[in-house]
Chains A and B, each alone.
Chain A
Amino acid sequence: MYDGFPDDLRALCFKVDEGIYQVQYVSSTDLDELLRAYALPWRRDVSITEVENDKKRFPLNRIRYSSAETPIDLDSLSIYNSKRVLAASLFADVSGFTRYIDAATSEEDQQTALRVFHAIRKETARVIKGDFNGLRIQYQGDRIQGLFHLPQDDAGALVKKAVEAAAGLQASMEHTLKACLPEAGDLHLAIGIDLGTTLVSRLGARGQRDRICLGAAVENAARLEEQSEGGQVGVSREVFSLLPDDLQLCFTYSAKARGYIATHFTTEQIERVEKATRIYGAGAPAFVHAGATGVTISSQESTDARTIIPARPYADKAEGMV
């Protein structure tokens, strides 16, 4: 874009990095000159009048928000009816999707890419809404924004639910979607989560309203998602501190992300970490059943399972161990 600019616009820019330019501060006088020079229709006085009119249309005493004890009905929200809730915000982005789309040059590849895109969108929304009773706020390209606000004001339960939803999303991506769509093999989800007071509303012209969430936690969840790589889940310090001890074991602090990161974090991993506490850590019996489909190892007794107290493994270094 910079290369296509005329000289007077180029003069307003400075180089930030290789191939990246930023427009520097433009004074009102310079801006008016540019508008005239390029015959642009934007007028300062008209814009100011519009804002003044909006202020009159939406007097502060009519703008209301309330808490939510039941799932928020996003369609009922407006500037006059917003919600202010303690909520866990979640952003999930398909890592590698841009590269995947760029590589799809033939018509068939592009059709395949669109089908993958559609499947991922649908499945991620289903997991957030269907499996974990969360809200699908909006899609932003290959990114989905979710919100968990129930049980009301229960911070511990909210973060646990959001983190379990993140594990569900990762499991769905890695196991369900890839099993059905092998062409999505190189795609992974990067997820960010934070907790905080969030304003939930729907703004815009009637019929074209956008669902919006405002709050520091929303921005931080988006930032943590951007700092996470495919297959990872990033959470804030507050979310980490509210997680049960066994789930905390899955996360390590990342100075770069300014948060805690879990890698290959799926529902199966959560189950294993819980199993580490319930069976292996407690020295409790494992109930083992071997059958046609595989071996299940559970903490729950069942009639056809054998009871095994896990043995104490050993390594004999004297016999060639490293």
Chain B
Amino acid sequence: MRGPLSRRVHTPIRQKAWYERDGGQRLAQDKERIASSFPGLTYAIDEETHQVSLHGIMTLLADCGIATSLHLRIVFPDDYPEHEPRVYDVAQRFPHEADRHFYPDGQLCLWLPPESRWDKQDPDGLCRFLEEVAVFLDQQLTCDALGGQKWPGKQRSHGDRGYIEFIPECLGGNERLLDALGPTLANRSGIQRNSPCPCGSGKKYKRCHLDVVQEIGQKIGWTRLYALFARQSASSPDK
């Protein structure tokens, strides 16, 4: 005879989607702020995939009164608000090219990942993020006004070069320091916490540049950082 337990069907316990956690507080909070600051955008939730997105129009107003409507799709990652949403130029209003800081699928390349301005702790973070998006799109319109050839303002180089520009800035633009810490950043020095700091200060590494190296590694991601230095080393074997 089979007991009642034998008839039980084991269904996997579904982890709550981000918008269901804490009684849906974060989504409700975001919705309210979006409704007042970006009323052209509306939420869509796919109940099957649990993907949340914002669709609609962001309107940029020029001082002369001319309004430019831009059709956007903002997709939230599964671990939102841990990571920032992705934004897409749906109507292909701008050329989806690297030099215009777009991926081929229309995703905006807002910033170098370690320079992200996303603040997961900020309850108004989504509106702040969309304001950054608005500035990016305003720069796109300005770029069009300049003939589409010249990016208005500062920008990062593409690919690895963007990171190569970023790392010395973390070291205060000190090229000599970069040369000294390079092997450590590339995980090739085998340095210990109590070893003398490679910068030549005479202090122990843990009391000198350990924190800075840790910060760079955490911002970029250790795997990416090592791969970056490996590619650099392969492309210029003399270094």
Contact = CB atoms under 8 A, between A and B. Distances in A.
B212 interface: no
B98 interface: yes
A252 B37 CA distance: 39
Given A267-B64, A279-B153, A310-B135, 20 more contacts: A250-B145, A272-B62, A273-B142, A276-B142, A280-B152, A280-B153, A283-B153, A288-B131, A288-B134, A293-B61, A297-B134, A306-B128, A308-B132, A311-B132, A312-B112, A312-B156, A313-B156, A314-B156, A315-B103, A321-B159
B139 A310 contact: yes
6 tightest Cβ-Cβ pairs between the two chains A and B: A280-B153, A294-B59, A280-B152, A313-B101, A272-B145, A317-B159
Interface of A: 171, 175, 249-250, 252, 266-269, 271-273, 275-276, 279-281, 283, 286, 288, 290-298, 306, 308, 310-322
B102 interface: yes
B172 to A, nearest CB: 17
A321 B63 contact: no
B160 interface: yes
A320 B135 contact: no
Contacts of A252: 147
Contacts of B136: 310-311, 313
A298 B134 CA distance: 12
B216 interface: no
B158 A314 contact: yes
Nearest to B145: A272
Interface in B94-141: 97-99, 101-104, 108-112, 115, 117, 127-128, 130-132, 134-136, 138-139, 141
24 contacts: A250-B146, A252-B147, A266-B66, A267-B62, A269-B145, A271-B64, A272-B142, A276-B153, A290-B38, A290-B130, A291-B36, A295-B58, A297-B134, A306-B128, A311-B110, A312-B111, A312-B155, A313-B101, A313-B111, A314-B162, A316-B158, A318-B159, A321-B158, A322-B104
Contacts of A266: 66
B44 interface: no
Interface centre among B66, B101, B156, by most chain A C-beta atoms within 10 angstroms, is: B66
A317 B145 contact: no
Contacts of B62: 267-268, 271-272
Contacts of A320: 103-104
A175 B144 CA distance: 18
B99 to A, nearest CB: 8
B158 A273 contact: no
Given A272-B142, A286-B135, A290-B37, A315 B101 contact: yes
A290 B112 CA distance: 25
Contacts of A313: 101, 108-111, 136, 139, 151, 155-156
Interface string B56-82: 001111111011100000000000000
Contact of A249 (B36, B61, B147, B155): B147
B8 interface: no
A65 to B, nearest CB: 38
A314 B101 contact: yes
Nearest to B63: A271
B127 A290 contact: yes
B2 interface: no
Nearest to A167: B64
